Structure 1
Amino acid sequence: MRQLVLLLCIAAAAAYSPLQYMGDQLLALTPSTQEQVDILEQWRELGLLGKETDFLDFWSGPSAPGRSVQVRVTRKQLQGVKAALAQHRIQYRVSNPDLGRLFIQENDMNRAAFDDHSKYHRYAEFHAIASALISKCGSQCSKEVIGKSIENRDIIAYKLGSNSANPMIFMDGGIHAREWISPATLLYIMDQVISDPQYRSLLDSWNLVFVPLANPDGYEYTHTSNRMWRKNRRPGRACYGVDLNRNFGFKFGGTGSSGSQCSDVYRGVAAFSEPETQAIRNFVLRNKSAIKAFWSVHSYGQYWLHPFGYAFGVNPNNVAELLSAAQTGARALQSVNGRRYTVGHSADLLYPAAGGSDDWAISIGIRYAYTLELPDTGRYGFVLPPAQIVSVGRETLAGLAAFLRAV
């Protein structure tokens, strides 16, 4: 397999230039009043000046006074953004004065690495590796094309475990294209469950389903054109893309989503308007009677979050067992590398975001539904070095195993 990966890596070297991010800064904005929170939310949904060309790249969303919001500001935007912050008396600090250095570091490390789990793979090589793992697994594992993307790429579900009497856990990854550690972690977990007897035993009592590249067009675009792309690649009148994690059919159109095509949280024209969310919906509904747990794997922040994410303080009826199972998983996860995850309510810990996949999953009767925000807590953000893939994979797998044994 290593030879296959080497050939694929040489053929598919990353085409985007990290130099395009030189001079971009990461700012930590701290609103002190609800009015300032609302201003930041307006900037996220409608742009800094209400113009389609003035959208900022929010790495985290506005939520409450006193909570910092991470925003990438391009070198061209810096003067105007800092003037607007001064006008509204919103405090900020510079978290990173030149993000271009992070992108150069990631690009250099990724091009130098050829091992299966020491680099971030392009779409084609990723699925070549995953398919080889399924073949290695034998009759206990399979794969299924569950849909096609806007640009006609396969959306593939990998199934580990074949006992129809066992409950199923469904895991999606890469819904947000720039969150490369998400699909990489799911690929690592697949490998270990297939290869390591201590984890292969999970298949005695569970069926594991992975959709690691739920947004294949966006993911490929981050490798070829824009490393910070978040949405799918839906063509629009003004801008491309729908935020797939605002497109699910529960509380669609609510807080934390936008009706503007150019916003990074643009929800689309209707719930499930996108073929990528339709693929997940259709697969989950076909298998709903078997699916006991649902994970949507994202980055970053180190959170283990339960629904409902559409509003502050709204909990499912089984919130106590959701918390208990998540805490069990988070303790096991922390025992591997010492990384601590914060467990709790999605909106209360981060920010309200309507139309998310985990909210929809629990709304249709799936008992355990979560969003996992993988490392780190902000030093690298979405640009986590590929050298950390294995350590993140190991701890996430430990958390998954403990969670499955607990529920």
Structure 2
Amino acid sequence: MILKFLACFLLVWVPCPAQKTRFDGFSVLRVVPTSEKQLLLSKQILENQNPLEVDVWRFPGGVDHSLDIQVSPKHFSKLNQTLTENGLQAHLLIRDVQTLISEQERLNKNVKETADLFNYGKYHTLDEVNSWIKNITEYYPNMTTALKVTQSYEGRTIQLLRISTGEGNSKPSFFIEGGIHSREWISPATVLFMAGQMLDRYSSDTRIKQLVDSFDWFILPVFNVDGYEYTWTKNRNWRKTRSKHGSCVGVDPNRNWDYEWCKEGASKEPCSDQYCGPSPFSEVEVKGVADFIMKNSKNIKGFIDFHSYSQLWMTPWGYTKQLPPDFKDQDKGSELAVKALQKVYGTKYNHGSIANVIYVASGSSADWTYGAAKIKYSYGVELRDTGKYGFLLPPDQIIPSGTETLEALIALANFVVNN
């Protein structure tokens, strides 16, 4: 959900296709507009600085909301000067992005593997995730089923795990997805951990058993499979899908849903990281997942789209700051979730509607599941952290993130069951 604000800019730093993009000397600045005037100025500065190698990691939805900007060493001084001239003070959040990328890779490689156990405390490639789905369904054949959702633009299979302990189709369902934005690695990792806990602790933990028994669970660890693969092989900071649009590549899969499509908070410029696509559901990945959800929407009572970063638990609407008629109930679920989450390690999350808490974003998954599929309890969640690492969390935060988020899920599920 975190976005790149510029419409299109010259990627002079991209190496030949055989190499992996490096971000040596790239830094991340944080700016906090303290007035409506400064907020408007910050947006205008970004819009008018083409071609700048600027990647907005966190966009300010309002006054006193942080704006995090990745900038190349070539344009660092110019951007900093422009901000200062307009009364905006920049704080250096990350000194060197490539250092964090390299450290994340090094630490991930050093996480020990065992021959017979899947290690939830490391980041996994798409092939490893798919192998996990295959293996977990063989290990828990009476509780799990692997389901193919659709094929991606590049021909990869998008598959999910169904966890069910009931007979027939009468039980309510809950749909969870991760990795809609490919660079947000903590999202699939957290989803995998929670799914593993639901299965491994089912027979020994009464709270987990109640959680699992309350719903049929549809769990999609990696939504944007092409983009996720690309972050492992070519560009760690890639966000979009990999479809072709003239000289540009990819659509923001969280701006492509057919509900209030391509209005505020989305772009019609194909090179933008907010590009909504040439039409609603133009992306085969989005259309495939939407079709699956709609086919099962009669029984789906809860939906969560996990993102990073910012530590937010949010509800519709994203396309407008106006609140929907169910907001009070929806936000009560958020409140219970973040309270349960905080009790584990003290991690603090904010909650509220998407447009009011983070920024206006039209054509999003949570708006569509609530507005079109009529899933009342639809949520968009931004996981750890608040900016120290951004998208580049070290692997030692995966299990803590999964542990606290699972507690939030238990609290939310209990609320949904009773409401």
Equivalence for 2:182: 177
Distance of 1:336 and 1:30 partners within structure 2: 29
Task: Write the mapping of 1:260-339 to structure 2, written as runs, cut at 5 A.
Answer: 260-312=269-321, 314-339=322-347
Which amino acid in the other structure matches residue 391 of structure 2? F
Equivalence for 1:71: 69
Q: Aligned pair 1:120/2:117, yes or no?
A: no
Which amino acid in the other structure matches residue 279 of structure 2? A
Equivalence for 1:151: 154
Tell me if structure 1 keeps the 8 A contact 2:53–2:71: no
Equivalence for 1:110: 108
Equivalence for 1:137: 140
Distance of 1:151 and 1:240 partners within structure 2: 12
Tell me if structure 2 keeps the 8 A contact 1:189–1:397: yes
Equivalence for 2:370: 362
Tell me if structure 2 keeps the 8 A contact 1:245–1:357: yes
Q: Taking structure 2 as the reference length, what is the TM-score of the superposition?
A: 0.88
Which amino acid in the other structure matches residue 60 of structure 2? P
Which amino acid in the other structure matches residue 85 of structure 1? L
CA 1:110–1:93 in structure 2 vs 1: closer, same or farther (change >3 Å)? same
Distance of 1:134 and 1:144 partners within structure 2: 10
Q: Out of 114-123 and 271-280, give the one that drifted further.
A: 114-123
Distance of 1:38 and 1:237 partners within structure 2: 31
Distance of 1:201 and 1:106 partners within structure 2: 36
Distance of 1:138 and 1:188 partners within structure 2: 19
Distance of 1:16 and 1:223 partners within structure 2: 12
Distance of 1:106 and 1:154 partners within structure 2: 27
Which amino acid in the other structure matches residue 280 of structure 1? V
Equivalence for 2:170: 165
Distance of 2:291 and 2:62 partners within structure 1: 36
Distance of 2:318 and 2:188 partners within structure 1: 22
Equivalence for 2:10: none
Which stretches of structure 1, 4 residues or longer, exceed 6 Å deviation after superposition?
Answer: none
1:29-85: CA deviation from partner (whole Å, max 9, x where unpaired):
2334435434544566x5722x4xx35211111322332200111222213322432
Find the residue that maps to 2:344 and give its secondary structure. helix
Q: 2:23 aligns with which of 21, 24, 33?
A: 21
Tell me if structure 2 keeps the 8 A contact 1:48–1:55: no
Which amino acid in the other structure matches residue 314 of structure 2? L
Tell me if structure 1 keeps the 8 A contact 2:267–2:274: yes
Distance of 1:143 and 1:128 partners within structure 2: 11
Which amino acid in the other structure matches residue 292 of structure 1? K
Which amino acid in the other structure matches residue 91 of structure 2? R
Q: 2:350 aligns with which of 342, 345, 348?
A: 342
Tell me if structure 1 keeps the 8 A contact 2:42–2:83: no
Gaps (5+ residues) in structure 1? 1-14
Distance of 1:76 and 1:241 partners within structure 2: 25
Tell me if structure 1 keeps the 8 A contact 2:165–2:213: no
Tell me if structure 2 keeps the 8 A contact 1:43–1:55: no
Give the share of equivalent positions with the same residue, in percent.
33
CA 1:150–1:302 in structure 2 vs 1: closer, same or farther (change >3 Å)? same
Q: 2:397 aligns with which of 379, 384, 388?
A: 388
Structure number with higher helix proportion: 1
Gaps (5+ residues) in structure 2? 1-17, 114-118
Distance of 1:274 and 1:42 partners within structure 2: 30
Equivalence for 2:380: 371
Equivalence for 2:13: none
Equivalence for 1:5: none
Q: Taking structure 1 as the reference length, what is the TM-score of the superposition?
A: 0.90
Which amino acid in the other structure matches residue 27 of structure 1? L
Shift of 1:228: 0.6
Find the residue that maps to 1:147 and give its secondary structure. strand
Which amino acid in the other structure matches residue 176 of structure 1? H
Find the residue that maps to 2:248 and give its secondary structure. coil
Tell me if structure 2 keeps the 8 A contact 1:173–1:296: yes
Number of residue pairs matched by the alignment: 387
Q: Out of 391-400 and 65-74, give the one that drifted further.
A: 65-74
Shift of 1:104: 1.7
CA 1:251–1:42 in structure 2 vs 1: closer, same or farther (change >3 Å)? farther
Q: Out of 363-372 and 155-164, give the one that drifted further.
A: 155-164
CA 1:114–1:392 in structure 2 vs 1: closer, same or farther (change >3 Å)? same
Distance of 1:61 and 1:208 partners within structure 2: 32
Distance of 1:272 and 1:148 partners within structure 2: 14
CA 1:179–1:294 in structure 2 vs 1: closer, same or farther (change >3 Å)? same
Q: 1:351 aligns with which of 356, 359, 364?
A: 359
